[in-house]
Structure 1
Amino acid sequence: MSFLGPKLLLKIDNRLRQAFPNKQHDNFGGVSMILVGDLAQLPPVMDKPIYASHSTALSLWHSFTIVITLDTIFRQQGASIRQQQFRALLHNLRNAQALQHDWQFLMCQTNATLTIQQKKDFNSSIHLFATNESARLHNRKMLKELNLPVALSLAKIAKQTNTEYDTNEQLPLEVLLSIDQQVMLIANLWIKVGLVNGAIGLIKQIVYENNTKPPDLPKYVVVQFNDYNGPPWDIAHPKDIPILPITRGRRMQVPLTMSWAITIHKSQGLTLDTATIDIGNTEKQGLTFTAISRVKTIDGIRIEPPFSFERFSKLQNNPYTTIRKKEETRLQLLSAQTDIYSP
């Protein structure tokens, strides 16, 4: 729900009122709505946080009065002193508290303190960047280092129509594909078995129809997803799954993107064993907290490049932090009044 801003909330409300005309005067057309998430993480792109609105969207947000607080940490488990210190650090980051000892703890996870083998292992880990441009440059660098042929996949464009949805291009115009390339799935294809937006894998085959070749769309791309848990497409390689082009808006394209590096925004919701993290020079609401909290253990984090305590302190300056804390106090009061019934 941190990614849900006033604009999108209003669109959801309007569409549901249209879909259920008998209850068009009720919020969300009378449909039961459940929001899940953490308001301390990144806000929506090109919008403000949902709790910072002063429009009709705020009254919609305040209509959610049944609140259940989940307070068990599952991602960063462990009883060691370092894990306890890591959880304390994350708690402080979430509350926008820049403490000297937390910064020093993170600076123990830089290239200057890692062994040669550790640095080598981290070089192959996913890299999280604050900007799209930094992620793009790292992905191009890694693709070049494969020293293998690269196929350009150009999206097919449907005829222009006048509907608003057609202007919302959700798939890239161009996709670069290569064997052994690390990619991320950018669509929910089969949620039950792990083929979800954000799933990471390695390309094993690129297959074309007869008489076609790059930059034509491939017939399918075989990707090895280690977290796939569905029926095997290839008995000998049960984690290898063909990914076919799909259509979103006016574009048909393979729903894959390079993922040696992704933005911190894109990483939201992921759980990672290891990551190299670059928080950039500018802090946004929840940026540093979201980046650091993607990783299970402090030993799974490399900070590269290192950042100053002055940069670390910028997390205290976001104008939404005070508003968010007041809103969380309101939600905690509602949570205390919510009874949970078990059958």
Structure 2
Amino acid sequence: MLIDPKNKAFKAALFLIEATNFNVFLTGKAGTGKTTFLRYIRKYVKKKMAIVAPTGVAAVNAGGMTIHSLFHIPPSVYPANDPRLRSRAEPDRPGVSIRSHFKMSQQKRKLFKELELLVIDEVSMVRCDLLDVIDRLLRTYGGDRYLPFGGKQVLFIGDPFQLPPVTPDDQWELLRHHYESSYFFSALAWKAAQPKLLELQKVYRQRDLSFVRVLNRIRSGEQSSADLALLNKHWVPADFNYTQAGYIYLGVTNRDVDRRNKRELKALDTPAHTYIGLVTGDFKPSDMPTPPELVLKVGAQVMFVKNDIGEARRFFNGKIGKVIKLEEDRITVDCSLQGGETNDPIVVETVRWTKVRYEWNAEEREIDEIETGSYEQFPLKLAWAITVHKSQGLTFEQVFANLNGAFAAGQTYVALSRCTQLEGLKLATRLRHGDIKVDPVVKAFADDFADDAEIEALLDRTTFLAHKEEVEEILQKGDLTAAVPAFYALQQAFPEFKEETEALEFTILAAIKKLQ
């Protein structure tokens, strides 16, 4: 897997993860490579690592576990003064403490103790109190109780401008006395951890630079009337036949989307075929990327829900096509409606998703990924319509968006940014300024993201620290013949850090004097 050499933020984040113990928040606009970064570190970084995400589908896609599964967190609301988070029981709630409420096996305690890097993907959907529970558990079972997250390095990945955490009114009523907002960055642990904030800037998903600029302004709520006028040129009348044209419909409610998919499937006069998914072990319906009973007909519009792992890379998560042949053990999909493609039809076979848990391997002294369940099914689902919420993280070439009644912050931005190009976008209703909602709390938080100058300085510093550590290791081995030239090479390469090498220089000179 290659790294874009011009992507400074990507390189800076990688240095921080590999060469330091700093906590890192990696963010970026839709399509800037956050998922690519996660795949890269999962494959190449050698630290003892666990990957978690807030939902089952997100965890399966990230190759990890849900937060609740790894940390054994019962679904609940956890205010900052909750007796269940106290290190020891108090007289007002005898027998209630973090150890009594969160039962951890010796195996899990060992895993937390040896853990070096915790990755939290899709952190924008993690509620503030849940992040604080993770912090308390790692302090209790994982290491240093005086350090955030028990002294473990944490990599947060996500975009706060996308959809916010789900926080019903009754739950927020319990939390609002302790937190400024429901977002992860309002957690007490976040403020204590002081993560380095890095924003990936280069957009890889969209090819149209003018569209990218419009999306950037919509993301931050700074869109102009000219931006809306440009987008509204893509409004189409109510009789637009999006199914015939191969577009996917993005709606804001489940009811609207389900009704459309059922109606379109019923309208096809071809025979229905039902494909039953194969489940082994622990794999809940809520974790499944595609239905356990997949009902399809020839002519159905479908969406791939997994990236092709073959060399040809014939499909990706979010690619749209039409079923042209149904057989017992394979399905043929034609994707030629998208973007003028003339590729051959894709013959699809079942694929396998796995769920994992992390265990400490005492013999090898490493964290093992143990498969706990699997799910085999065709990587397809009906896709005449999906909700904006389910579309987060996906990429489409042709989108028909109905944003009438958009109610959540970031909803309009998520819908529009799923599309790779402006020419592939159609709108069911004309956009108004009121349809674009940005939470001012998120906007204020985003002002702290590192700019290019800060990223450059951070990249220099993390590189320096990595080389300095190498010199110190050589010196600890007593190899002065190697330490001296390595030290002077360090000084020449990083003259701006001269003060930080003075103590190391003194140690080397003292060792030379002693040898003489």
Q: Distance in 2 between matches of 1:150 and 1:280?
A: 33
| Displacement after TM superposition at 1:108 (Å) | 1.9
- Give 1 or 2: higher helix fraction: 2
1:190 correspondence with 2:309: yes
Q: Does the aligned pair in 2 maintain the 1:180–1:202 contact within 8 Å?
A: yes
- Structure 2 counterpart of 1:101, one-letter code: A
Q: 2:445 — aligned with what?
A: 327
Q: Does the aligned pair in 2 maintain the 1:110–1:304 contact within 8 Å?
A: yes
Which structure has the larger Rg?
A: 2
Q: 1:105 — aligned with what?
A: 230
Q: Distance in 2 between matches of 1:237 and 1:6?
A: 35
Q: 1:212 — aligned with what?
A: none
| Displacement after TM superposition at 1:94 (Å) | 0.8
Q: Equivalent pairs: percent with the same residue?
A: 22
| Displacement after TM superposition at 1:326 (Å) | 2.2
TM-score (norm 1): 0.67
| Displacement after TM superposition at 1:121 (Å) | 8.7
| Displacement after TM superposition at 1:29 (Å) | 8.1
Q: Does the aligned pair in 1 maintain the 2:242–2:249 contact within 8 Å?
A: no
Q: 1:313 — aligned with what?
A: 434
Q: Distance in 2 between matches of 1:281 and 1:299?
A: 24
Gaps of 5+ in 2: 1-25, 28-33, 35-52, 57-64, 73-107, 116-141, 169-180, 337-342, 356-372, 468-516
- Structure 1 residues 175 and 6, CA gap change in structure 2 (3 angstroms): closer
**RMSD between aligned alpha carbons?**
4.5
Q: Does the aligned pair in 2 maintain the 1:68–1:338 contact within 8 Å?
A: no
Q: Does the aligned pair in 2 maintain the 1:51–1:327 contact within 8 Å?
A: no
Q: Distance in 1 between matches of 2:383 and 2:254?
A: 12
Q: 1:282 — aligned with what?
A: 406
Larger RCO (CA under 8 A, 6+ residues apart): 1
Report the number of matched residues: 302
Q: Distance in 2 between matches of 1:100 and 1:170?
A: 41
Q: Distance in 2 between matches of 1:59 and 1:187?
A: 36
Q: 1:152 — aligned with what?
A: 274
Q: Distance in 1 between matches of 2:316 and 2:143?
A: 35
Q: Distance in 1 between matches of 2:227 and 2:380?
A: 37
Alignment of 1:222-301 (within 5 A): 222-224=331-333, 239-243=346-350, 253-301=377-425
- Structure 1 counterpart of 2:382, one-letter code: M
Give the secondary-structure state (helix, strand or coil) at the position aligned to 1:42. coil
| Displacement after TM superposition at 1:287 (Å) | 0.8
Alignment of 1:1-343 (within 5 A): 11=68, 14=71, 19-23=111-115, 24-25=142-143, 34-44=155-165, 50-56=183-189, 58-59=190-191, 62-65=193-196, 67-78=197-208, 84=210, 86-97=211-222, 99-112=224-237, 123-154=245-276, 169-171=286-288, 172-187=291-306, 190=309, 193=313, 197-208=317-328, 220-224=329-333, 239-243=346-350, 253-307=377-431, 309=432, 312-316=433-437, 321-332=439-450, 335=455, 337-339=457-459, 341=463
- Structure 1 residues 181 and 32, CA gap change in structure 2 (3 angstroms): farther
TM-score (norm 2): 0.47
| Displacement after TM superposition at 1:149 (Å) | 0.9
Q: 1:162 — aligned with what?
A: none
Q: Does the aligned pair in 1 maintain the 2:320–2:383 contact within 8 Å?
A: yes
| Displacement after TM superposition at 1:46 (Å) | 6.3
